[in-house]
């Protein structure tokens, strides 16, 4: 595609390059004219011809170089490994998220830890527990805000400007100015040239010559139509006996239309007919001036050949550019999908780490406030539970900032249940001595999220955790006898669990149990032929 005002057949050349080419053509023409003993008219004519030849040749060379560059860029992009690009993008995104997302959460969790240390040393831990409770609420609000940002879809960058590749439907001002100048030059030459040669002239010839020159106005928008119009005027002028007079304007109009037409790749019968019509009519008119016929035919040949070379190079460059753009879109799509998946995974991990800790901290801080000062041992024990939860969360956040957490084991699941019990929640568990390694992390997150919901939304309820092998799958059931779903039925927790479970090909269902009281989450995870041992209470 080409930008507005840069039709494929036109010949944009930088002004400095143009000046150098004109100077070179004038110098070469001067040397030839001096060597042949000719005068100023011959020098001007030779300089104009050489300038045109150099311009179209230069444009062809530039087109070839651009095509090679575009091909090299397309080849380089095609050699890029999609997986490698996606991995680098994911690594960069995780590093960015680790710095931007976890910083504030880590600060809040660390502040809770500092308050725990201060409260342990204080004679009255009540104020410290109140501050811990407020920090837990602030951390919960910050977690929801961060998760909302993580799950917000990224806006696509615009593929390009609105008018990229749009060709102007009408001649631009430069074309109109060029046509006006060519028409005026043609009219002057149609009067001056015959008089200088002692030949008859007529106003009809002047008018038709000027009209033919003006057809260059279509050089950008419709070179085929412009070439046909020029050829038709040549023929009409010959028929009415007022032939078109040649001159410098031919370089602009005839040369420009032929070069533009062939460079634009106007194939098919219409394009071929336009080239034949204009070259045939101009050449036929040239028989009236046999001395310059060879120059005329050579000039047309240069225009056509240079246009064909330039057009071929440009079409090759366009194909390479389109291939490169397609490859970029493929790489961008793969990268975008990988980054989106990473953001979702990061959101789940942050939620799992912080939400569990915040839930435990909030409940224990409230319990400690209620217990003090009547039951100081209970209040002090809540500080220990909060401290353990904070230490675990900070350790997990640190691992999350560096890389993904290490593979968990069955002992982590048991330790999780024990921490919830230590916080005062009654938990009955049936856990296997060993779990398939492919399922341990998901099982841990399921139990963690479900027990966190019990702590936060069903205070005082008893929970049951059952993990067992069912054929070639592992079944996890976490239930409680609390008031019902409440807030547990909404939010990011169950959404994240559903994503985790679906990612490994499992199923998740939740709702009230058959008794109608409480809440139950059931997850079934597929495993390989690895056997799960008998459960141990």
Task: Say if 417 falls within a structural domain.
Answer: yes
**What's the pLDDT at 36?**
62
**What's the pLDDT at 163?**
42
Separation of alpha carbons 253 and 390, rounded Å: 82
* β-bridge mates for residue 67, sequence order: none
CA angle (424 as vertex; 420, 430 as ends), nearest 5: 50
Torsion angle defined by CA atoms of residues 290, 295, 300 and 305, in that order, rounded to the nearest 10 degrees: 140
Are 276 and 352 in the same domain?
Answer: yes
CA distances from 140 to 199, 245, 456 (A): 99, 88, 11
Place of tokens 């319990």: 367
Are 396 and 434 in the same domain?
Answer: no
Task: Say if 123 falls within a structural domain.
Answer: yes
**What's the pLDDT at 4?**
39
CA angle (531 as vertex; 526, 532 as ends), nearest 5: 85
- Residue 14's H or E segment, with its range, is none
**What's the pLDDT at 254?**
87
Confidence of residue 522 (pLDDT cuts 50, 70, 90): very high
Are 536 and 427 in the same domain?
Answer: yes
Separation of alpha carbons 518 and 483, rounded Å: 5
Are 400 and 461 in the same domain?
Answer: no
Report the percent of the chain where pLDDT is more than 70: 83
Are 9 and 44 in the same domain?
Answer: yes
The strand pair at 463-470 and 507-511 is best described as unpaired
Q: What's the DSSP call for residue 255? A: I
Please say if the pLDDT value at position 13 is more than 70.
no
Domain boundary residue among 370, 391, 406? 406
Give the CATH number of the domain where residue 527 resides: 3.30.565.10
Domain boundary residue among 385, 406, 427? 406
Are 444 and 333 in the same domain?
Answer: no
Q: Lowest-confidence range among 65-69, 159-163, 356-360, 408-412? A: 159-163
Confidence of residue 291 (pLDDT cuts 50, 70, 90): low
Confidence of residue 287 (pLDDT cuts 50, 70, 90): low
Please say if the pLDDT value at position 388 is more than 70.
yes
Are 453 and 392 in the same domain?
Answer: no
Nearest to 468 by CA among 537, 528, 417: 537
Nearest to 319 by CA among 71, 76, 72: 71
Confidence of residue 395 (pLDDT cuts 50, 70, 90): confident
Whether 529 and 472 have beta carbons less than 8 Å apart is answered as: yes
Residue 465 phi, psi dihedral angles, 5° rounding: -120, 120
Confidence of residue 285 (pLDDT cuts 50, 70, 90): confident
**What's the pLDDT at 536?**
42
> What's the pTM value of the predicted model, to 2 decimals?
0.59
The model's pLDDT over 315-337, given as tens digits with 9 standing for 90+, comes to 899 999 999 999 999 988 888 88
Q: How is residue 485 written in tokens?
A: 């779903």
Task: Say if 373 falls within a structural domain.
Answer: yes
Task: Say if 184 falls within a structural domain.
Answer: no
Please say if the pLDDT value at position 462 is more than 60.
yes
Q: Which domain holds residue 468?
A: 411-537
**What's the pLDDT at 196?**
77
Q: Lowest-confidence range among 140-149, 156-165, 274-283, 326-335? A: 156-165
Residue 153 CB contacts under 8 Å (≥ 6 apart), including other chains:
340
Confidence of residue 298 (pLDDT cuts 50, 70, 90): confident
Place of tokens 């350790």: 395
Please say if the pLDDT value at position 464 is more than 60.
yes
Helices within 423-534 (DSSP H only)? 440-457, 492-503
Please say if the pLDDT value at position 213 is more than 50.
yes
Whether 234 and 285 have beta carbons less than 8 Å apart is answered as: yes
Are 395 and 422 in the same domain?
Answer: no
Task: Say if 246 falls within a structural domain.
Answer: no
Are 422 and 536 in the same domain?
Answer: yes
Nearest to 478 by CA among 488, 459, 464: 464
Q: How is residue 123 written in tokens?
A: 């004679």
CA distances from 330 to 76, 319, 326, 338, 471 (A): 14, 16, 6, 12, 41
Separation of alpha carbons 217 and 170, rounded Å: 10
**What's the pLDDT at 321?**
92
Separation of alpha carbons 338 and 358, rounded Å: 29
The model's pLDDT over 473-511, given as tens digits with 9 standing for 90+, comes to 999 999 998 887 654 444 567 777 888 888 888 999 998
Q: How is residue 142 written in tokens?
A: 């910050």
Greater confidence (21 vs 111) lies with: 111
Separation of alpha carbons 245 and 206, rounded Å: 8
Are 346 and 485 in the same domain?
Answer: no
Are 57 and 4 in the same domain?
Answer: yes
The model's pLDDT over 161-210, given as tens digits with 9 standing for 90+, comes to 434 444 445 567 888 988 899 899 889 988 887 787 777 878 998 999 99
Task: Say if 210 falls within a structural domain.
Answer: no
The model's pLDDT over 351-383, given as tens digits with 9 standing for 90+, comes to 777 877 888 888 888 888 888 888 888 888 888
**What's the pLDDT at 164?**
40
**What's the pLDDT at 402?**
63
Confidence of residue 279 (pLDDT cuts 50, 70, 90): confident
Task: Say if 211 falls within a structural domain.
Answer: no
Task: Say if 252 falls within a structural domain.
Answer: no
Q: Lowest-confidence range among 38-42, 241-245, 524-528, 533-537? A: 533-537
**What's the pLDDT at 463?**
93
Whether 475 and 522 have beta carbons less than 8 Å apart is answered as: yes
**What's the pLDDT at 362?**
84
Please say if the pLDDT value at position 66 is more than 50.
yes
Are 389 and 477 in the same domain?
Answer: no
- Number of domains within the chain: 2
Report the percent of the chain where pLDDT is more than 90: 13
Domain boundary residue among 383, 406, 429? 406
């Amino acid at each position: 595609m080409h930008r507005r005002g840069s039709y494929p057949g036109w010949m944009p050349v930088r002004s400095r390059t143009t000046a150098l080419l004109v100077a070179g053509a004038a110098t070469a023409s001067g040397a030839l004219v001096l060597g042949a003993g000719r005068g100023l008219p011959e020098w001007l004519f030779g300089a104009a011809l050489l300038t045109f030849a150099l311009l179209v040749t230069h444009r062809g060379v530039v087109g070839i170089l651009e095509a090679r560059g575009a091909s090299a860029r397309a080849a380089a992009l095609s050699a890029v490994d999609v997986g490698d690009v996606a991995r680098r993008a994911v690594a960069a995104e995780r590093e960015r998220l680790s710095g931007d997302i976890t910083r504030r959460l880590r600060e809040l969790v660390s502040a809770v830890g500092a308050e725990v240390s201060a409260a342990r040393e204080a004679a009255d831990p009540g104020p410290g527990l109140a501050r811990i409770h407020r920090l837990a609420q602030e951390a919960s609000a910050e977690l929801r805000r961060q998760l909302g940002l993580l799950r917000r879809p990224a806006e696509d960058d615009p593929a390009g400007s609105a008018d990229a590749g749009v060709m102007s439907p009408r001649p631009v001002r430069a074309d109109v100015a060029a046509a006006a100048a060519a028409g005026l030059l043609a009219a002057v030459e149609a009067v001056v040239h015959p008089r200088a040669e002692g030949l008859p002239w007529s106003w009809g010839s002047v008018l038709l010559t000027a009209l033919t020159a003006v057809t260059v106005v279509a050089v950008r928008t419709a070179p085929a139509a412009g070439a046909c119009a020029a050829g038709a005027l040549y023929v009409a002028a010959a028929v009415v006996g007022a032939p078109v007079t040649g001159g410098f304007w031919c370089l602009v109009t005839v040369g420009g239309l032929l070069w533009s037409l062939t460079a634009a790749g106007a194939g098919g019968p219409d394009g071929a007919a336009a080239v034949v019509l204009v070259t045939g009519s101009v050449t036929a008119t040239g028989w009236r001036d046999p001395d310059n016929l060879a120059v005329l035919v050579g000039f047309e040949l240069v225009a056509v050949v240079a246009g064909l070379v330039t057009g071929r190079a440009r079409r090759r460059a366009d194909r390479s550019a389109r291939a490169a753009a397609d490859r970029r879109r493929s790489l961008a799509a793969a990268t975008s999908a990988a980054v989106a998946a990473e953001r979702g995974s990061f959101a789940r991990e942050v939620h799992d780490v912080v939400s569990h800790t915040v839930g435990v901290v909030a409940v224990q801080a409230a319990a400690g406030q209620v217990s003090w000062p009547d039951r100081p041992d209970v209040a002090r024990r809540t500080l220990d539970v909060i401290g353990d939860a904070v230490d675990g969360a900070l350790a997990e956040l640190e691992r999350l900032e560096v890389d993904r957490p290490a593979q968990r084991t069955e002992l982590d699941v048991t330790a999780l249940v024990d921490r919830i019990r230590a916080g005062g929640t009654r938990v009955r568990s049936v856990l296997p001595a060993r779990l398939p390694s492919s399922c341990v992390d998901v099982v841990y997150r399921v139990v963690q999220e479900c027990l966190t919901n019990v702590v936060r939304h069903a205070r005082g309820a008893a929970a049951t955790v059952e993990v067992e092998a069912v054929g070639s799958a592992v079944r996890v059931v976490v239930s409680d006898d609390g008031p019902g779903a409440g807030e547990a039925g909404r939010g990011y927790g169950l959404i994240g669990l559903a994503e985790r479970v679906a990612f490994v090909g499992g199923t998740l269902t939740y709702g009230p149990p058959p008794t109608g009281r409480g809440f139950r989450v059931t997850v079934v995870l597929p495993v390989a032929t690895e056997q799960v041992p008998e459960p141990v209470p």
